[in-house]
Amino acid sequence: MVAYLKRIDTGYEGSLTRQAAPGDIVNEVLDSGTDWSTYGFGRPVKYNAVGKIVPVASGDTADVIKGMLVRTFPGRAITNTGTQAYPQINGGAVPVARRGFMAVKLNGATTPAKGGAVYIRVGGGSSTSPIGGVEAAVDATTAANTVLLPRAQFEGAPGADGITTISFDIL
């Protein structure tokens, strides 16, 4: 019998890890005035004053989150590995998941347990914990820097690439 010594990759940031049900994904229009090159897939989004999708910002609360940005293919790679990409602003609609299972980049130092709470960083951002990033614990220095994403949980620990899966229901 063959022994496999490595775990299969979890996926790419913003990829759906299970088949979506009707109504789980909606198409939304990105705000073209936003710099999307630093805000990738698999992160929460909200509406601006004119009903377009924008990234979560410092000081936001969990109730403004309207979904998670779904990775589209093809996408523009940020690095030559192709593992990170950002939304294309071309006037078209982009998919936003309001419910489902999604691969996300884990930020912060805490490793999640299956069923553990999902937190979104809304303050005190850094290169390792960006605003809009998914974390497994409340910020230890300032609790207001992270908000609990209601009706969301981790589905297990991340792989070597830092990608893990969350399940969520933002309806």
- The reported pLDDT for the residue numbered 80 is 46
**pLDDT tier at 82, thresholds 50, 70, 90:** very low
Is this prediction's pTM over 0.75?
Answer: yes
Whole-Å CA distances, 169 to 63, 84, 99, 135, 139: 12, 24, 4, 17, 23
pLDDT of residue 86 exceeding 90, the answer is no
**pLDDT tier at 77, thresholds 50, 70, 90:** low
- The reported pLDDT for the residue numbered 32 is 85
- The reported pLDDT for the residue numbered 114 is 96
Domain ranges for the chain? 25-169
The encoded tokens of residue 29 equal: 């229009």
Q: What value does the mean pLDDT take over residues 45-67?
A: 96
- The reported pLDDT for the residue numbered 94 is 87
Whole-Å CA distances, 146 to 22, 30, 109: 31, 24, 14
pLDDT of residue 143 exceeding 90, the answer is yes
Q: What's the whole-number average pLDDT of the chain?
A: 87
C-alpha–C-alpha distance, residues 94 and 118, integer Å: 24
